[in-house]
Amino acid sequence: MAQPATQAIAAPARLEVIELATPVGQVTLAATAVGVAHVLLPGTSREPMITSFLRRQPCAEIALLDAITLWLEPAAAAVMAALAGCDRPSPPLDLDVTDFERLVLTEICRIPRGETRSYQQIAVAIGHPRASRAVGQACGANPVPILVPCHRVVGESGRLVGFGGGLDMKARLLAREGALLT
């Protein structure tokens, strides 16, 4: 008689969450064993993030922490370095985004510090020249602002438009990078 096959049981997902004091205010970081899942800008509630994660991973453990852990340290170091004006490689990311959003976010990471691109320029760069509105939506869905610097994407005329952290925060982040705005 054949033996039943044994299957490994995967450990439940875990999302570690911490609030980090930064030069632009309290930033919430969330990471899994895979990488950074969320960076929430000051004034952003963490509840929608947690609800969304639990919808995808119903048995997940949510750990609200007071100290930086091995999973959170790369995110904290990268956020603080970015806000201090240092370029450093992004830590591993664990993003729940569509293929189009991933394409847009990858292109945004190519924008050098202190420079901006328009939504239209990003659309052209990714081979979808008529998708500037979709690029804007992808920027709005960016789960890791600062690490994926969607604040560097501006309106066609160079105006500050559309940013989840508010236009004041967008202006502050660009000013920290020395970006010249029209």
- 176, two tokens: 């920290």
Count the neighbouring beta carbons within 10 Å of the beta carbon of residue 130: 9
One domain for residues 115 and 48: no
Span 37-46, pLDDT tens digits: 999 999 889 9
pLDDT score for 63:
93
pLDDT score for 57:
87
β-pairing, 25-31 with 14-22?
A: antiparallel
The answer as to whether 93 is a domain residue is no
One domain for residues 50 and 114: no
Q: What is the dihedral of CA 94, 84, 169, 163, to 10 degrees?
A: -30
Residue 73 sits in a domain whose CATH number is 3.30.160.70
pLDDT score for 9:
53
pLDDT score for 182:
57
Fill in the DSSP letter of residue 27: E
30, 55, 83: which is the final residue of a domain?
A: 83
The answer as to whether 145 is a domain residue is yes
83, 111, 134: which is the final residue of a domain?
A: 83
The answer as to whether 44 is a domain residue is yes
Q: Are 38 and 50 in contact (CB under 8 A)?
A: no
φ, ψ dihedrals at 9, nearest 5°: -100, 120
One domain for residues 27 and 74: yes
One domain for residues 79 and 104: no
| Identified catalytic residue from 59, 109, 139, 150 | 150
One domain for residues 142 and 171: yes
* 59 a catalytic residue: no
Per the structure, the complete domain to which residue 149 belongs is given by 99-177
Look at the chain and report how many structural domains it folds into: 2
Residues in the chain predicted with pLDDT less than 50, given as ranges, are none
42, 57, 83: which is the final residue of a domain?
A: 83
Task: Report the C-alpha gap between 126 and 134 in whole angstroms.
Answer: 12
* Beta-bridge partners for 62: 15
One domain for residues 173 and 108: yes
Span 55-77, pLDDT tens digits: 988 888 999 999 999 889 988 99
Give me the DSSP letters along 62-98: EEE-SS--TTTHHHHHHHHHHHTT---PPPPB-----
Cα–Cα distances in angstroms (integers) from residue 41 to residues 45, 65, 129, 136, 168, in the given order: 9, 17, 30, 18, 12
The answer as to whether 91 is a domain residue is no
φ, ψ dihedrals at 76, nearest 5°: -60, -45
The answer as to whether 90 is a domain residue is no
Instruction: Give CA angle at 168 (162, 171), nearest 5°.
Output: 85
Residue 140 sits in a domain whose CATH number is 1.10.10.10
Give the global pTM. Answer: 0.86
